[in-house]
Every structure is written in structure tokens, then in C-alpha cells.
Chains A and B, each alone.
Chain A
Amino acid sequence: MALKRNLDVVSITDHNAVQHSITACRLSKEEQVSVIPGVELTTREEVHLLAYFPDVESLLKLEKKIDSCLPKASNNPKFFGHQVRYDLSGEIVELDSKLRQTALDMGLDKLVALIHELGGLAVPAHINKNRFSILSQLGFLDSEANFDAVEISKFKWEKESFSLSDTLDGFPVIAGSDSHAVDDIGLFFMEDINDEICRGRIYPTRGLDESSPYNALKNFLKRNKQ
């Protein structure tokens, strides 16, 4: 779908789950689309926190840490559906029984530090929404906080005509499509007007080279943080 809608760079960020993000990264190696490994974590304060990584290995290291912070309860498919894992060819390979639709037993600040330790970017998700956002849960954005960017909803992005170099309270702003189904992918996207992030796309992500979209994004956000 990302190819069909002509996207250059995407990231799959499931809730507290990394395996499909990794599958997407592996699939992209043969394709003209770059995939940044990522995940959407729920902190102890019930704040949704996006994390992006330079490589699959770092994301796997994070998975080990977060899986030990999940509650000792099983997923109830009646409420949340089955958590089915697919392989590269689209075959079902596993039913994940861990309860992932809930908060990790680790606080926001600790998770941000852990993401940075593993070389990743930490971005509070949909901060303008009144559910599971840093503003709804923790009241306000601490300008001293160590976030690499903040994410706003696609609605706010479009309504207020945001662009990639904008900031909010000193933090660079990004927005995601919040796609929860395949058909949603690419209906919303951020435009990389000055080719800041996509220029590395001609040589799709193959590790840590400076031109990879992840590094381009990281450097771009760093330059824009006030």
C-alpha cells in the first residue's frame, strides 16, 4: 500500500509490539520504499510515546525490555481481537497472547532515557488529543524534557497548515497517518518539501550510513529543536 500510494519513507508503530514493524523493514529491502523501525509505547502514566530506531537490532533490544514490563495478564480476543503475527509471505505464524493494549510498568522519563540509550528517537504521540497524550495525562509539556519531537494529530496538522520544519513549544512537530488498517496508509502523509529526509531514499536504508532516512530525520529534528 505504501508503494501504491507513492510514499518514500514510512514507519509501522504498533502498540507495545515490534514484530510487524520488523517484518515491514525486511519486506522493504527489495522495494522502493524506506521503512524506519518503530513502535508506539504506552508509559506507566498512560502516555503514548513513539519510538523510532536506526536499525531492527535496536528495536529488538527495546522489545526485550518492554516485554518484561507488560502486565501478567493475557489478551482477551473478545475485546481487543486476536493479535495475529504474519511472516514475510503473509502466512500466520503466531498468536500473540500477551496483553499489549495496556500500559507498561515503566515511567515516561525512564522510557525516553532507554530509547536514547538504544540510539532511538522519542516522540510523545498525538499530544493535542484528550486521550493517552502527554497533555491529557500529565497536564503540560515540560520544555526541559528530552523529547526529539512531538507528534500532533493529522487533523491539527492539516487544519493549521503545519509543515515539517515547524516547532511547538520549542519541539519539532511531526504528524502520522494513525492508520489502523491497510487502506488508511498514505491517505495522510507529511510532505518533505526540501528533500531533507527522502534524499537518502535513492539508497534505501541499509544500516547506519549518514544518508539513510533515519539519520536524515534525526539530524533534521536536531537542527530544528530550539
Chain B
Amino acid sequence: MKLSKIIDKCKLEKIDVCSDCEIETGYCSDLMSDVMAHAAQNCIWVTIQAHKNSIAVALIKDIRAIIFTNNVPVEPEVIEKAKEEKINLLRTAKDSFTVCGEIYGMLEVKN
């Protein structure tokens, strides 16, 4: 599914969108070690952990898009790093449970 469709349906705030990549699956976790161990390639990552290290982890795992939930503040240096590394950053006031439910439903219907 195209990222733009997810952004549209879930009404996500676009912090930094650089590509309309294909999203095959998703992962939800706030611990970097867990993401590094379990997230799949080309997934969309749902988290409240808006730190610079999140961008580095996304890069290592080939994660092309991150959704920050609960409207967590995102510092300028995080956005800058994401732009540099071409990682899409989205944000929403919804919590991770809700967003995951929405995206899971969309991906299931498609399959």
C-alpha cells in the first residue's frame, strides 16, 4: 500500500515526507533494541520515541516511514536527520493502539 494512502486515511500530520514508498507491513515498539531485532524491512514504524536515534534505527532496518503518536514533540535536529536520510516522518494525536488498528485493517483488506 502506498504511504500517501495511509497518511490520507489515518489523517496523519506530515512532518517530513520525501517519498511515496510502498508499505508492506508495520511494527509498533518504543524500545530501539526490540525494533532492531524484530521490525521488518519496508515497514511503517509506530512509536512515541521521537529521538535522533530513532532515525538511525530506521536507517539500519530499512524502515522508510515513522509515525510518532500521542503528538510527542519532535525536535528540529530529529527532522533534519530524517531529511538527510530520506526517512518519512508523520505525527498524530492518536495513540499507538488506535493507529496500529487503523493501518492493520487497511493492510488486511488489501491482502
Contacts and interface: CB of A to CB of B under 8 A. Distances in A.
Interface residues of B, number: 17
Contacts of A138: 32, 49, 51, 53
Nearest to A139: B32
B56 A139 contact: yes
A140 B56 CA distance: 10
Nearest to B35: A139
Contacts of B33: 135-136, 139
B1 interface: no
B93 interface: no
B52 interface: yes
A140 B33 CA distance: 9
B2 to A, nearest CB: 29
Contacts of B49: 45, 137-138
A139 B35 CA distance: 9
Interface residues of A, number: 13
A171 B30 CA distance: 26
Contacts of B107: none
B75 A107 contact: yes
B75 A137 contact: no
Nearest to A138: B53
A44 B51 CA distance: 10
B53 A139 contact: yes
Given A107-B73, A107-B75, A109-B75, A137 B52 contact: no
A137 B34 CA distance: 9
A129 to B, nearest CB: 12
Contacts of B36: 139
Given A109-B75, A142-B52, 11 more contacts: A44-B72, A107-B50, A107-B73, A107-B75, A110-B75, A136-B33, A138-B49, A138-B51, A138-B53, A139-B32, A140-B32
The list of the 3 closest CB pairs from A to B, nearest first, reads A139-B32, A138-B53, A138-B32
